[in-house]
């Protein structure tokens, strides 16, 4: 990998660390020319996957699109970039576990919701209200009520 500072081709790995969940390897690298140190992350990538949208249209899976949708629901919520990357990665792992060549956008939505529910409940509600076709409004309201922390009256 080239050095991002001087674009020299010889960088060496000074340290590699496996993440606690065993799903990511983080490497510290050092440029042999300018001594600049930087890190790279290695993780499995979703292979060729076709997403079938609700209207039947097909498109290839895009991490960017996934991230965009989730970022929207996370607007103004507290989280770090590292936590966000972990979230995206866990979603992609779930997608890969299905071992499919084609996946419905609904299926991806369900996976995202499952992960968001643990990650951030407000983001979950935002995401769910857009992506899930709730059978009826009551069910949705019930779901929201069950997520709200019980506030004590003053
Ligand atoms: Zn360099």
CA of 1 to the centre of ligand 1 (A): 11
- The first and second tokens of residue 39, run together, are 């890190």
Same-domain status, 125 and 102:
yes
Same-domain status, 20 and 96:
no
CA of 76 to the centre of ligand 1 (A): 37
Q: Is residue 2 assigned to a domain?
A: no
Residue 136 in this model has a pLDDT that exceeds 80: no
Same-domain status, 35 and 54:
no
Same-domain status, 86 and 18:
no
Same-domain status, 69 and 51:
yes
Domain containing 34 equals: 11-42
Q: What b-and-e string marks burial along 8-40, b requiring 16 or more CB atoms within 10 Å of the CB? A: eeebeeeeeeeeeeeebeebebbbeeeeeeeee
CA of 42 to the centre of ligand 1 (A): 21
**CA–CA dist 15, 73 (Å, integer):** 36
Predicted pLDDT of residue 150: 59
Domain count, the chain: 2
Handedness of CA 109, 114, 120, 121 (dihedral sign): positive
Question: What's the whole-model pTM score?
Answer: 0.69
Angle CA 85–88–92, to nearest 5: 135
> For residue range 10-54, what is the model confidence (pLDDT) as tens digits?
999 999 999 887 888 999 999 999 999 999 988 888 878 999 988
């Amino acid at each position: 990998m080239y050095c991002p500072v001087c674009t020299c081709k010889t960088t060496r790995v000074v340290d590699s660390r496996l993440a606690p969940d065993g799903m990511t390897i983080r490497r510290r690298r050092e440029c042999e020319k300018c001594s600049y140190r930087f890190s790279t992350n290695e993780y499995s990538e979703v292979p060729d996957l076709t997403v079938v949208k609700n209207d039947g249209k097909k498109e290839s899976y895009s991490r960017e699109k996934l991230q965009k949708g989730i970022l929207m629901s996370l607007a103004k919520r507290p989280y770090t970039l590292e936590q966000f990357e972990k979230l995206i990665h866990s979603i992609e792992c779930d997608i890969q576990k299905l071992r499919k060549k084609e996946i419905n956008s609904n299926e991806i939505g369900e996976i995202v919701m499952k992960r968001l529910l643990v990650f951030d409940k407000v983001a979950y509600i935002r995401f769910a209200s857009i992506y899930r076709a709730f059978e009826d409004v009551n069910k949705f309201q019930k779901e929201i009520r069950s997520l709200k922390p019980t506030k004590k009256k003053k």
